[in-house]
Structure 1
Amino acid sequence: MSYTCYGKLPMGANTLGVYVSSSLTVGRVAVRSQVIKSMAFVLTKSISLSFLFFSASLSSHVCISSNPIHLRHLHGALRYPGKRMHGKPTLFNFAPCSKLDSTTKFDKRSFGSTPPSMATKAAEDKPPQLVVVVESPNKAKALQSYLGSDFMVLPFHGHARCLAGMTGSVRPENGYAMVWEVPESAQSHLARIKSACKSAKGMVLATDPDREGEASAWHISETLKGQLNRSKFHIKRMLYSEITEKTVLLSMQALQQVNKPVVDAYCAQCALDYLIVSALSPLLWRKLACSQCVGRAGFAALQLVCEREKAIEDFIAQEYWTLEAAFSDETTAFSLYPISNDGTTSQELHHFPDESTCTAVAEKLKGLPVRVSKITRQLKPVDPPEPYTTSTLVEDSNAMLGFEAAETMTFAQRLFEGIDLGKGEYMGLITYPFTEQPQLSEAAARSIWAIAAQRFGNNYVPPNPREFKSGATNMNEPYEAIRPTDMWRFPSTLSQKLDKNALALYTLIWKRTFECQMQGAVYEQIYADLIMETESMHLQTNVNKLSFTGFLETLEDSETSTLQHTWQSCAREQKYYSSEVWNMIANLKEGDVVRIRKVAVMHHLTSPPVRYSEGLLIKAMEAAGIKRPSTYSSALKSLQAKKFVRTDKQEIIPEVEGRMVSSFVSRYLSKFLDCSSIAVIEQQLDEVSCGCLQYEEFLGGFWPSFSAEVASVMNLPFQTISRALQETVAALCSANLGIKGHFCPRCGTGRLTMKDHHCGSGYLFRCDNHLCRYELFLPLALFFVL
């Protein structure tokens, strides 16, 4: 008896050895580009084979030596439907040949997921009650350990369908119908799920609890619904925001249907992005020297970066002066600020407007008596920060840990999906990381109170749970902030389970969650108003002291001391004084007369706006109303991939082409693609997901006017566009190429005009003075280094 198998192999793969034998013990065979015996083939990079064929007598095992990715390709050739196969292969063992012996067993960890043949055999031995579909192998392991043998948990990577890669995948003339196709990468996963569902009673789609996860569940359901064709086979949706045994089991008892409005919002988002890119790509290609399109969120981020860069370039530093004074040569100096001359208000001016005034006041202060007219004491409470949302987590991890946005979300996703805690126990360490909701569950708050009371005492626990107001408009998506699933799992207990970066991010999340439910810190502040009676000059000084640490006590806690950072906003707002200065000001009384013995004039310059880091840019996008956590890192990646921006020492700097694209879009399409317009689109998508706005109504309100505007801009002559963009390009090139404003650097009288040059290879500046004929060609390659 024999069998024959056909299947595609990956081209250019590393060395792959295939051995067919009736025995389990197979020795290592030297890799050669020839047939070894009559039953083994060895494939190397030098052999261009697209199909594999082998025939042998009935054997009990096929042993393959390669990496797991290539094994999946070959294993699919033997087992997946659609491949020709005669006979039925027996159970296969996969392991490196050097380790094969009579006790060799299949190791799941070498694949990251259960191979189709193993899943099929398990289904045949004991049919599962339900098939549960998740996104990753780690999720599958965790849920399988919770649910038991009555369930088969299978991982599915990516979407089961995507928009067809052809023109017209979205058809406005047909009610904005969308054409979907099943990518090749999803076919093997679908075949495996279909095979497992043949003997099951139903399928549970346990994908992520957001818009993307709902769409992934819908794609799988729509793809398999017609193929299963069983009246009593039910497909349900399971929602959970953390991967713990209690949450998963409770969610399994509250199954529901796929949320159609959320799916409609996903489809509207995909259709809109497709239409915008398909309309803008030819426009930018023709009008801006082969520039590319970056999508809605990308345009918003690019606009923010370019506006900040222009503000930095236009910034003119302003001078101001302050006074540092002391009551004697031995005491530490304190700051003096001018206040209103009538003394009726304590509004601070903070500085002297010019040096002469400040110097004159300093000269008069030396040795003159100054009377204390008023002492004001007050307590200033400082509330703890909110728990993390996606944007604030990225901002803090970028500032405190140096992680990029993509790195932060990779580590966060790994913590959410769960790790092996030992003895087969899998546990998700944090809640779902893509969220804009800052609320905490009551159980989490009570855990924090218990830990705070145990570590610091009852004075650090608030009398009632601290509630945080959400600015999110879509309440159908994750309802809780990013927090540890179990606050009693301290960071120190995971030092051997997590790598350095993942542990640092978990510690950051644990600290923020812990301190958000503690008492606020309290600062005691003293304001002293001083009067120079001979000159009628009113001055003020103030000092502050931390009187109750509250949540700031976590800075010294052993669990978070490894971060070596203080709460950033608190550190910026508070200026700390020595105990000597505090005691000196605190001992003053109204009516006291003191003499200032030492005065120094301090010169200052105002600082320009800082460039955006990834964290600050995401915070700015959220403040602008673009609250779509899953798009933040992808938008930044798109800008960097198209060379519209670059990152230098965590600062995002726009490139010349990026600034030209931003200037072009702001000039001609601002009512559709500026930050405020994109924020309105995001709000409307939230309305679609809540069922308040229909899919066709949303797209019909945007696309007709947008396409008409794009067509109008497409008909504009290049001269009109070049005049609009000339100021942007000239300003960028002036420092490097001698171009100042609009005038020719050679004759000084002619004006420079910009022209597109050689089908998008760059730009040509030409003097309009026919006697001068000055020309300057700027290739795109030069733009990228300006």
Structure 2
Amino acid sequence: MPPRQTNGKNLVIVESPAKARTIERYLGDDFEVAASVGHVRDLPKKELGVDVERGFEPKYVTIRGKGKVLKELKKRARDADAIYLATDPDREGEAIAFHVADQLGLEGDGGERFRRITFREITRQAVQDAMESPGPIDMRKVEAQQARRILDRLVGYQVSPLLWKPIRPGLSAGRVQTVALRLICEREEEIRAFEPEEYWSITAHLLRDDQPFDAKLHKIDRKAFTLGSESDATAVLEDVKGLEFRAAEVKRRERRKNPFPPFTTSTLQQEAAKRLRFSAKQTMAFAQRLYEGVEIGGRGAVGLITYMRTDSTRVSGGAVGAARSWVEREFGEKYLPSSPRLYGGKQQKAAQEAHEAIRPTDPTLHPDDVRKHVDSALARLYELIWLRFVASQMSPAVYDTT
């Protein structure tokens, strides 16, 4: 069999053009980067696509419009020395890598040219490290993604039409919202079954040296009490009317509050909703752009944050050191704890140990420097992530309580 002719280049396949542009900056001239533009195969739209009688076997078809993408990828793969599948390190990314490899015939290539690489931040060091330690496709993640997709189809495809006639056309009954609705209904039933108990409290609005404060009545004759009706409360109120109030003791204590750990996916969504009024979907879309890379002046496309789908609060030693150096330089030793703050202990065994929290890839890149080059939404989300991460390595807040 004659030797296969190649163009002397290596092909790297990712899922998005933005990610491709960022990665290209860190690779030499002997690499070219192409994008699958998301998934290339899925269950068919016009049928169930799951053979329930044969172990829930999925039936995959090429997504409409992706035939041209696959044709181009096959052409490039045929001419390449090696093919690196560098899709995201989660279930969806692993499934994309699996289907691309299958459609390009890489699994039948003897494994000689095919390599699976993953990284959780798009930086020069992370990409180089991934290139030096390729591995196989993680079939456990692929099967997990397939199971989720099959459940989506079994629930949504069959249950959703039942809602259209009695309620409204187009309603969806998906794998997640159907269970969530059940939980909400159960809680509503508990609320309706609850029998409320009446209680009253008495609070005095006082003034001392032009400083207003409230004092709540907790004891009568040094004994705790409850007020179960308005008449009970009125009787006590009549007893205390006209009395002189005196502060028996003022207690002051110093309190310390440690900083919050860096963001996970869920805490980022919660904080972005509270502070920025972003929906969960908006937060993840903006975070995806920050992760894949945005243009930062003369630096080109830069991946600004680590991978945004994680349940870990662990942070690499290098990132901790960079944050501590920045804090010491900007604020001084007073605001820096004597030893690094470490997050993500035994309680995170369910999380993969290699995963990190969501953090800036370069803690020295201040939000003000990013704001000049990106739109407002991205700048605000980056600032939220940056502040949370830098604060996580600072000294506790100290304040007095009275």
TM-score, scaled relative to structure 1: 0.46
Shift of the 512–200 alpha-carbon distance from structure 1 to 2, 3 Å rule, reads: same
- Conserved? CA contact 2:119–2:127, under 8 Å: yes
The structure, 1 or 2, with the larger RCO (C-alpha pairs under 8 Å, 6+ apart) is 2
Name 2:38's counterpart in structure 1: 158
Q: 2:24 aligns with which of 144, 151, 163?
A: 144
Give the C-alpha shift of residue 220 in structure 1. 0.6
Matching residue within 221, 231, 235 for 2:114 = 235
CA contact 1:201–1:233 (8 Å) conserved in 2: no
Match of residue 172, structure 1, among 52, 65, 77: 52
- Partner SS state of residue 153, structure 1: strand
Question: Could you tell me how far 1:411 is from its partner in structure 2?
Answer: 1.5
Candidates 179, 184, 194, aligned match of 2:64: 184
Q: Cα 1:456–1:193, aligned 2, differ >3 Å: closer, same or farther?
A: same
Equivalent in the alignment of 2:284: 409
* 1:322 aligned onto 2:203: yes
1:297-318 deviations in Å (ceiling 9; x for gaps) = 1224445666788899999897
Residue 276 of structure 1 and its aligned partner are, at CA, apart by 2.1
Matches within 5 A, 1:254-269: 254-269=133-148
Mapping 1:66-145, distance limit 5 Å:
127-145=7-25
Shift of 1:430: 0.7
Between the aligned partners of 1:322 and 1:237, the Cα distance in structure 2 is 66
Q: Deviation digits for residues 259-292 of structure 1, max 9, x if unmatched? A: 0111111111112222223442455457768784
Task: Report what 1:465 is aligned to.
Answer: 340
Contact 1:321 1:352 in 2 (8 A): no
Q: Could you tell me which amino acid in structure 2 is paired with residue 468 of structure 1?
A: Y
Q: CA distance change for structure 1 residues 487 and 357 in 2, over 3 Å: closer, same or farther?
A: farther
Q: Structure 2 matches for 1:423-462, cutoff 5 A?
A: 423=298, 425-462=300-337
State whether structure 2 residue 395 is matched by structure 1 residue 519.
yes
What SS class does the counterpart of residue 203 from structure 1 fall into? strand
Picking from 228, 231, 237, the partner of 1:359 is 237
2-side partners of 1:230 and 1:517: how far apart?
A: 48
State which drifts further: 147-156 or 127-136.
127-136
- Structure 2 match to 1:196: 76
1:338-378 Cα shifts (integer Å, max 9, x gaps): 3345759xx99999986415523542532x6x472x55443
User: In the alignment, is residue 244 of structure 1 matched against residue 146 of structure 2?
Assistant: no
CA contact (8 A) 2:82 2:114 kept: yes
CA contact (8 A) 1:387 1:481 kept: yes
Q: What's the RMSD between the two structures over aligned residues?
A: 3.4
The residue correspondences of 1:526-541 to structure 2 (distance < 5 A) are: none
- Please name the residue that 1:46 is paired with: none
Structure 1: unaligned runs, 5 residues or longer: 1-123, 526-542, 544-786
> Any conservation in 2 of the 1:131–1:152 contact (CA below 8 Å)?
yes
CA distances 1:108-143 after superposition (whole Å, capped 9, x unpaired):
xxxxxxxxxxxxxxxx9x824321001111211111
What residue in structure 2 maps to residue 630 of structure 1?
A: none
Matches within 5 A, 1:732-747: none
Q: Residues 438 and 425 (structure 1 numbering): CA distance in 2 closer, same or farther, change over 3 Å?
A: same
Letter paired with 1:267: Q
Shift of 1:221: 0.9
Q: SS at the partner of 1:324? A: strand
- Correspondence for 2:152: 273
1:414 partner SS: helix
Residue 404 of structure 1 deviates from its aligned partner by 2.3
Write the distance in 2 (CA, Å) between the matches of 1:437 and 1:255: 23
* Equivalent-residue separation in structure 2 for 1:128 and 1:433 (angstroms): 35
The one-letter code matched in structure 2 to 1:155 is A
Alignment partners' CA distance in 2, 1:321 and 1:207: 62
CA contact (8 A) 2:292 2:303 kept: yes
What secondary structure is seen at the aligned counterpart in 1 of 2:133? Answer: coil
Q: 2:261 aligns with which of 380, 386, 409?
A: 386
- Is contact 1:495–1:503 with CA below 8 Å preserved after alignment? yes
- SS of match in other structure, 2:398: strand
**Deviates further, 245-254 or 197-206:** 197-206
Cα deviation per residue 1:45-93 (whole Å; 9 max; x = unaligned)?
xxxxxxxxxxxxxxxxxxxxxxxxxxxxxxxxxxxxxxxxxxxxxxxxx
**Structure 1 position 447, deviation (Å):** 1.5
Q: How far apart in 2 are the matches of 1:238 and 1:247?
A: 11
- Partner Cα distance (1:251, 1:418) in 2: 18
Residues 440 and 132 of structure 1, relative CA distance in 2, 3 Å threshold: same
Question: Does structure 2 conserve the Cα–Cα contact (< 8 Å) formed by 1:210 and 1:478?
Answer: no
* Cα deviation digits, residues 135-168 of structure 1 (max 9, x gap): 1112111111211111111011121210133545
Cα distance between partner residues in 2 of 1:250 and 1:400: 36
Q: How far apart, CA to CA, are the structure 1 residues paired with 2:355 and 2:235?
A: 57
Shift of 1:231: 4.4
Measure, in 1, the Cα distance between the counterparts of 2:142 and 2:93.
9
Q: How does 1:558-597 map to 2 (within 5 A)?
A: none
Q: After the TM superposition, which of the residue ranges 421-430 and 281-290 deviates more from structure 2? A: 281-290
1:336 corresponds to 2:215: yes
Structure-to-structure mapping, 1:610-629, within 5 angstroms: none
How far 1:507 moved relative to its partner? 0.9
Unpaired segments of 5 or more residues in structure 2? none
CA–CA distance in structure 1, aligned partners of residues 227 and 214 of structure 2: 9
2:381 match:
505
* Gap change, CA 1:435 and 1:361, over 3 Å in 2: farther
Aligned counterparts of 1:472 and 1:188: Cα–Cα separation in 2: 43
C-alpha distance in 1 between matches for 2:225 and 2:251:
14
Which has the higher Rg, Structure 1 or Structure 2?
1
TM-score, normalising length from structure 2? 0.86
Report the Cα distance in structure 2 between the residues aligned to 1:169 and 1:349, rounded to whole angstroms: 63
Cα pair 1:387 1:513 within 8 Å, conserved? yes
One-letter amino acid of the counterpart of residue 126, structure 2: T
State the partner residue of 2:91.
211
3-state secondary structure, aligned to 1:333: strand
With over 3 angstroms needed to count, the CA separation of the structure-2 counterparts of 1:418 and 1:177, relative to structure 1, is same
> Displacement of 1:195 after TM fit?
0.7
Structure 2 CA distance for partners of 1:290 and 1:453, relative to 1, 3 Å = closer
Aligned length: 394
